Amino acid sequence: MDRILREIIPPADYQHRNGFNNIPLIDKLTDDEKIQLENALISKLTFESDREPDSLIIETLAYLKSQKFLPILRQLLEKNLYEITELIVATSIYEINRDNDMIDIAINVVKKIEQKKGYYYVYKLTSAFYYLIKFENAEVNSIIEKYTNHREYLVACNAKRVLGYTEIR
């Protein structure tokens, strides 16, 4: 299991994570291995509870639809997380159990990003679109739609991309 864990959750640096997708690796696992992986990931995340949680672990457990993980995710929402991490947690809860309360949390995260137009504003906002779209919700989609004509090209381009626009200019 240690080898599988290292493959599925590589070191949290650009070299190992840029463009990384662990879903094909997870899909190859047996049901028993998936259960072992779920337990190992929950242990790993709770062990590291003194710092910002690893979003890849959170997203992996959401992909596994880990019901055991839901109480931990809800506790994470009570912490003072970075905006994108908070959005990942809300999206993960929604992916696991379709809790519609997570839509409001996601929308509020976007509002926080808008209010703090700091150095990483464009990056945070464009990243947010890829999580927001997972809600498959008309209200969320209309929020993304508002950014399709944004003055920042990357914001507009990514908003159009997640909404599935065929022509992006």
**pLDDT of 142 over the 70 cut:** yes
Q: How many residues does the chain have?
A: 169
pLDDT in tens, 86-141: 999 999 999 999 999 999 999 999 999 999 888 899 999 999 999 999 999 999 99
d(CA 1, CA 21): 19
Can you give the pLDDT at residue 154?
95
DSSP string, 41-85: HHHHHHHTTTS---HHHHHHHHHTT-GGGHHHHHHHHTS---HHH
Percent of the chain with pLDDT over 70: 95
* Interval 61-89 mean pLDDT: 94
**Mean pLDDT of the residues in the chain:** 93
- What is the residue type of 20? F
* Dihedral (CA of 114, 116, 118, 124) sign: negative
Dihedral angle of Cα 139, 144, 145, 148, to the nearest 10 degrees? 170
